[in-house]
Amino acid sequence: MDSTADAVVVGSGPNGLAAAVLLARAGLAVELHEAAPEPGGGARSARLFDADVVHDVCSAVHPMAVASPFFRGFDLAAHGVELCRPEVAYGHPVDRRRTGLAYADLERTCARLGPDADRWRRLMGPLVEHTRELTDLLLGTLRRPPGPGLAAVLAPRVLALGTGADELLFRGPEAPALLAGVAAHPMGGLPSLVAGGTAVLLGHLAHAGSWPVPRGGTQVLTDALVADFRAHGGRVHVHSRVTDLRQFAKTRAVLLDLSPRGFLDVAGPLLPPGYRRALANVRYGPAAAKVDFLVSEPIPWCEPELAKAATVHIGGTAAQVRAAENTVAAGRRAAEPYVLLAQPMAADPSRGLPHKQPIWAYAHVPNGDPLDATELVRARIERFAPGFGDTILASRCVPAPELEADNANYVGGDISGAAVTLRQLLARPVARWNPHTTPLGGVYLCSSATPPGPGVHGMAGLHAAKAALRREFGIRALPAGW
């Protein structure tokens, strides 16, 4: 079936939706195709156990929604999206007596770090001061080097956090644990320069906008994007699995919010052999095993302040986080894996009821691991919150292979779209000056397998749409806001 649209977007995760919105606002006739029953990809919510309780299906906490140039231009507030900022952006229990807490307020964070207060202030303060240019750089196409002023701020911090030298900077265990917990987000070996860059970006955002949750669930982000797309004439097709790009042969621009493997599936025979081999050689990283809990009361943390954190990293000391991540990166299960946990009602009480609350968590596991992580995650939480198990009313696990079954972009349960290594960040998914372009005329990649990588920021969609507008339609002036 041939499309009569000017442009087609395949896949409706945040990046696909961002591309569709930008193209539609530029005045093009745009169609969006989604294989699932509803748009959104990983940015969806559901009432899993109880009609009064909202659980997020994949993404839950959104520091990038504050920082992203795409979402700044889109203006979430103008579309009715309220970002609820928790008092504590993220927390990290080291043991039952010691806990690192990254408050939204930098000075309050420093006050809790005692002898490490000045060191944390010197680390994070300049990043907060340069947050706009820093986020614009790190969420860009990764082709533009930083100016000398920003480089002087950024380079030594990425090197320190990316080589493990940060532990030498601090006297106590809390600050290194906080940084290691953030550095583990990309799922891979530690330390690494990519993890150091992640710790710089996400770590400083705790004090420059916090780590908010959308009121009502992540679904509201998707709903706002879809509504705007439709308001500008866009058409959404769900239950519409694209299997061959040749069905869009007459369409001037096709943007793919697909993994490299997904691109091969729909376009393999059409691609030059070298590019096809490069896509086939893309390496996928460790996976998530996601567990949802319905609980009768807030988690009984040993450290009461953790109840104010929407995000909690469970991994113990910085050394323990590194050991667990390196074990999983080597393809083996960690006995005590890193667990990322979200308790959204810490910031958004509308998600449930006092005696019915959602808890979102996932453990890092090897790619494709079929482990049901429910008991493992429960035990990891209970280590720092004795009695947690007694509060559980219901639970479910989505093992890594089921994540892929639900969303084909999560190959083997890799929610990052491809391993986030230094090589695969600089050549994502292949070495190409503009990796959003492809050897096929009019065909672009806009998934998290392209720069700037994973996260709910919409920037891969923005970059790909800008390239398509310029190259296919001669449009250089972007819609208002961008």
Tens-digit pLDDT profile for residues 356-382: 999 999 999 999 999 999 999 999 999
pLDDT above 90: residue 165? no
Could you give the 3-state DSSP secondary structure of residue 469?
helix
- As a whole-number percent, the residues of the chain with pLDDT over 70 amount to 99
Distance from the first to the final alpha carbon of the chain? 34
pLDDT above 70: residue 329? yes
Helix axes 260-267, 273-280, angle to 10 degrees: 140
% helix, strand, coil for the chain, step of 5:
40, 15, 40
Comparing 6-10, 302-306, 423-427, the range with the smallest average pLDDT is: 423-427
Confidence band for 153, pLDDT divided at 50, 70 and 90: very high
Mean pLDDT across 57-79: 95
Mean pLDDT across 140-168: 90
What's the confidence (pLDDT) of residue 4?
A: 84
What's the confidence (pLDDT) of residue 2?
A: 54
pLDDT in tens, 257-283: 999 999 999 998 999 999 999 999 999
Runs of H (alpha helix) within 206-358: 219-231, 260-267, 273-280, 318-329
Confidence band for 426, pLDDT divided at 50, 70 and 90: confident
pLDDT in tens, 170-225: 999 999 999 999 999 999 999 999 999 999 999 999 999 889 999 999 999 999 99
pLDDT above 90: residue 425? no
Mean pLDDT across 332-349: 98
**How far is the C-alpha of 430 from the C-alpha of 427, rounded, in Å?**
5
pLDDT above 70: residue 79? yes
> Nearest-CA neighbor of 407 among 14, 114, 63?
14
What's the confidence (pLDDT) of residue 145?
A: 85
Predicted TM-score (pTM) of this structure: 0.96
Burial code of 77-108, b = ≥16 C-beta within 10 A, e = fewer?
eeeebebbbbbbbbbbbbeeeebbbbbbebee
Judge whether 289 and 362 are in contact, CB under 8 Å. yes
What's the confidence (pLDDT) of residue 262?
A: 97
**How far is the C-alpha of 109 from the C-alpha of 123, rounded, in Å?**
12
Mean pLDDT across 131-140: 95
What's the confidence (pLDDT) of residue 3?
A: 67
> Nearest-CA neighbor of 361 among 402, 412, 395?
395
Mean pLDDT across 45-70: 96
pLDDT above 80: residue 412? yes
What's the confidence (pLDDT) of residue 168?
A: 84
Q: Which residues contact 149 (CB under 8 A, 6 or more apart)?
A: 130
Q: Compute CA distances 123 → 36, 129, 201, 204, whole Å.
A: 43, 11, 12, 9
What's the confidence (pLDDT) of residue 480?
A: 82
Mean pLDDT (the chain) is: 96
